[in-house]
Amino acid sequence: MKSMRQLLILVSIASAAAFGSAFAQATMDHSKMGGMQMVASNEMTQGEVRKIDKDAKKITIRHGEIKNLEMPPMTMVFQVRDPALLEKVQTGDQVQFKAMKDSGSLVVTDLQPVK
């Protein structure tokens, strides 16, 4: 009797584990999809630094097409989320950057010189 109960417990643990891993699999696939979408919308945009204003936390970039903002190539001023980003680049540098819309203004969230 006792061993029968242990067997039942073992079976229920095994099926719980199987269910758990199936669930984990589904969760993983889902997050992978989300991750791919993030990569697509967070693609780096090419540009050239035209002007840097550290006090105002602004940078002027002559940029290529920004796919996630559906913006054609142009020269424009961006806000910079973290002023430390401006320490990494100089006027005239070729850069890669990420920009997003934040309550109406365009903000650079990542910026790095292209070697």
Residues contributing to the site for Cu ion (CB under 5 A) = 71, 74, 76
The distance of closest approach from Cβ of residue 96 to Cu ion in the complex, given in angstroms and rounded to an integer, is 15
Instruction: Identify which of residues 71 and 100 has a Cβ nearer to Cu ion in the complex.
Output: 71
Query: Which single residue brings its beta carbon nearest to Cu ion?
Result: 76
Instruction: Identify which of residues 45 and 86 has a Cβ nearer to Cu ion in the complex.
Output: 45
The distance of closest approach from Cβ of residue 75 to Cu ion in the complex, given in angstroms and rounded to an integer, is 8
Instruction: Identify which of residues 26 and 74 has a Cβ nearer to Cu ion in the complex.
Output: 74
- Among 88, 113, 98, smallest CA distance to 39 is for 98
d(CA 79, CA 68) in angstroms, rounded, equals 17
94-102/74-80 β-pairing: unpaired
The distance of closest approach from Cβ of residue 69 to Cu ion in the complex, given in angstroms and rounded to an integer, is 7
The distance of closest approach from Cβ of residue 92 to Cu ion in the complex, given in angstroms and rounded to an integer, is 19
Instruction: Identify which of residues 29 and 53 has a Cβ nearer to Cu ion in the complex.
Output: 53
DSSP characters for 18-74?
HHHHHHHHHHHHHHHHHHHHHHHHT--EEEEEEEEETTTTEEEEEE--BGGGTB-SE
